[in-house]
Structure 1
Amino acid sequence: MDTAPPRDTAELIYRDAVEADVEVLVPLIESAYRGDASRAGWTTEADILGGQRTDPEGVRAVITAPCSRLMIVECDGVPIACCQLEHRGDAAYFGMFAVRPELQGAGLGRRIIAEAERSARELWAVRQMQMTVISVRDELIAWYERRGYRRTGELSPFPYGDERFGIPRRDDLAFELLVKELS
């Protein structure tokens, strides 16, 4: 399989995931965040968290939840990225964002988040996109800030002791809420 980054003009196909996609999505998400494979990209959490990022049940729950969609991004018929969108009143929540590690850093993430924002506005007429990011992920938070997101300072605790979210390698983890006003 060709792993060259899609050109800026490459056609990306965005579609809603279905339950049959779970077996492809779990390893895609895991590869972007955990283990040695994730180190090929810049979004790895391998130095702060071990264990899993998600599991089939977690992905299936996002796919089947009301007011939620898990968007798959394909290039030449191959899933290369995904993200979760969830309707929450006047806002949409953006999460479970994963791009294959060898394709990171080529502008693909910027294209996907723009499409996610457009889609949330169109689908739910929301005025704000929200997300939570592990607060020690300075480089990742800076990337989102360059996309127009702002830190709120609102923290929620990391679920220490719940291995479904990973095995912490640090004792100072928390989630910070980031928001972006959508026009």
Structure 2
Amino acid sequence: MPTTFSPVYRAASAADVPAIVALVESAYRGESGQRGWTTETHLLDGQRTDAANVEELIARAGSLVLLAERDGVLVGCCHVEQQGDHGYFGMFAVSPELQMAGLGRALLAEAERIAREQWQLAAMRMSVIEQRAELIAWYERRGYRLTGETGAFPYGQPRFGIPRRDDLRFVYMSKPLQEVAA
């Protein structure tokens, strides 16, 4: 169903950290995450992020934690970071009650717009857990392509979650943001 509202976007501040952590955890972990389609509970237990991680992302140079709000309430967030000539997209979360309403698509488009127009970056990259086929397909419908690169899952580092299986790894995806001159 199409979104029935236009979110208000803004950069996160340190005061937003508790709300960001709560939103990310609700979208990916536990019972609330199972209401939306982004849950990772079949792959991971434990936390998805924590206050220290979010604080560091907000404070880091060349980094933006972008918030989407409706009526002053946080309903979506993502992290975008400048890495050379491309942006890196991560920590993407939409309130489970609002998933499938177009908010995620709109938030991703806003992050891409910032990377393209404000930072003049050539492409956006991201990593996705390989076993998240539905999520990979969602990004592919938005123009992202698998790069063929893979990365190890950080086993033994519970701040990234506690794996339920021993075959997790990341795949990398990329999307051009600038028109290529002919």
Q: Shorter-chain TM-score: which interval?
A: over 0.9
Q: What's the CA shift for 1:122?
A: 1.6
Offset at 1:63? 0.4
Partner of 2:104: 109
- Which residue of the other structure, out of 154, 161, 175, is the alignment partner of 1:159? 154
Distance in 1 (alpha carbons) for counterparts of 2:144 and 2:157:
28
Q: How many angstroms apart in 1 are the aligned matches of 2:172 and 2:14?
A: 29
Q: Do residues 176 (structure 1) and 171 (structure 2) align?
A: yes
Question: How do residues 22-171 of structure 1 correspond to structure 2 at under 5 angstroms?
Answer: 22-171=17-166
User: Which aligned runs of 4 or more in structure 1 are off by greater than 2 angstroms?
Assistant: 6-9
Paired with 2:175 and 2:67, the residues of 1 have a C-alpha distance of: 22
Specify every segment of 5 or more residues in structure 2 that has no aligned partner in the other structure, as ranges. none
TM-score, scaled relative to structure 2: 0.95
Letter in 2 for 1:173: L
Deviations 1:4-34 (A, max 9, x none): xx96352311100000100111010001111
**How large is the RMSD of aligned CA atoms in angstroms?**
1.2
Deviation per CA, 1:120-159, whole angstroms, max 9, x where unpaired? Answer: 1122100100000001100000000000000112111000
Report the residue type matching 1:147 in the other structure: R
Structure-2 residue corresponding to 1:3: none
AA in 2 matched with 1:106: A
Q: How far apart, in 2, do the equivalents of 1:107 and 1:81 lie? A: 11
How many equivalent pairs are there? 178
TM-score of the pair, normalised by structure 1: 0.95
